[in-house]
Amino acid sequence: MICLVERKRLRKKSPSIPSFADKYLKVSYNELFKAIDGFSSSNLLGTESFGSVYRGTLDPSGTIVAVKVSNLQQRGASKSFIAEYEALRGIRHQSLIKILTACSSIDSKGDDFKALLYEFMNNGSLQTWLHPKDAGLFNQLSLIQKLNIAVDVADALDYLHANCQPPVIHCDLKPSNILLDDNMNAVVGDFGLARILSETMSISQHDSHNLMRIKGPIRYIAPEYGAGIQVSTSGDVYSYGILLLEIFTGKRPVDDMFNNGLELREYVHMAFPDRVMKIIDHAINESTTNGINQRAEEECLVSVIRIGLACSERLARDKMSIRDVASEMHAVRNAYFKAGQS
């Protein structure tokens, strides 16, 4: 589970969430405080957009949780808390993080305390698998695992964009926000910047500043967001495209090699299609699956890179729709599986 926590001094009334306390008051502050050993640094798992994530265990069930503590002194943290709740409370999909329960209480210092509890994913984030902090740590994803993860994320976005009414825009898709369960299935999390789409919604100057500050201008944010353009599903499609290129090349969008105007997308585009295998993650090239010939593998990777490039076009009108993206990713994976069975 993940527990999204928000604490705030009682100097002014905190933003309200309709029926929040009445409907979801199932875990007390004291229980959560004990579960994570008083927010001990030894339990720190990592950081997200507006807080730090801790590992903990709830008594008496022994349920493992992760507690995301929001710093309300940070501008936009309170808005992020409510955005995440509003985005997730009514959606159900196997590739989206699920709210399990919540807490609205007061901590031991008299500060306002709010928490959302989510599933805990034992295999951590995609970030830790793609780019381990410890150079000696061997976290290698096979081509099939990478395909499965890419399909899971595409399905999650397709659900948010096409099956939710109104559509939900994630706005913060990146490897650290993609979690992996025991079976290496991917789940999209951290909806702190999510927006529920309306006809009049646009990225305000403040929201644009938050997006740029969190991810930087050359990472996963759609170029149009930096100009204050209206929030749209194409922004998530762009982020997905960059994510695909990162997953299959093994290179971060902010690697040192990307400077003087060279970005990950341009680097990949220059190699497409004839030299794709030269830029693919070396771990894939070194671990060809038994029964699948090299030609089938190359066709699969060229198709994935083509989709990544099509998603990350600079102009919104030139990008693929997420429905087409999900459909094509399923087709690519199915073709790869079929080649392995022949």
The 3-state secondary structure of 23-91 reads HHECCCHHHHHHHCCCCCHHHEEEEECCEEEEEEEECCCCEEEEEEEEECCCCCHHHHHHHHHHHHCCC
Rounded to an integer, what is the distance from CA 226 to the centroid of its chain? 20
Query: pTM to 2 decimals?
Result: 0.84
Query: Can you give the pLDDT at residue 95?
Result: 97
Nearest-angstrom CA–CA distance, 66 and 54: 5
Query: Can you give the pLDDT at residue 214?
Result: 41
Query: Can you give the pLDDT at residue 137?
Result: 57
Query: Can you give the pLDDT at residue 306?
Result: 98
Render pLDDT for 168-204 as a digit per residue (tens, 0 to 9). 999 899 999 999 999 999 999 988 888 887 644 554 5
Our answer to whether residue 152 is catalytic in this structure is no
Report whether CATH 3.40.1190.20 matches the domain 3-118: no
Report whether CATH 1.10.3720.10 matches the domain 126-341: no
* pLDDT beneath 70: ranges in the chain: 1-25, 49, 135-139, 198-218, 226-229, 285-292, 342
Query: Can you give the pLDDT at residue 219?
Result: 76
Query: Can you give the pLDDT at residue 285?
Result: 65
Phi and psi at residue 174, to the nearest 5°:
-165, 165
CB 27 within 8 A of CB 91: no
**Domain locations in the chain?**
3-118, 126-341
- Residue of 172, 190, 236, 281 with catalytic role: 172
Nearest-angstrom CA–CA distance, 79 and 72: 9
Crossing angle, helix 233-249 and helix 322-341, to 10 degrees? 30
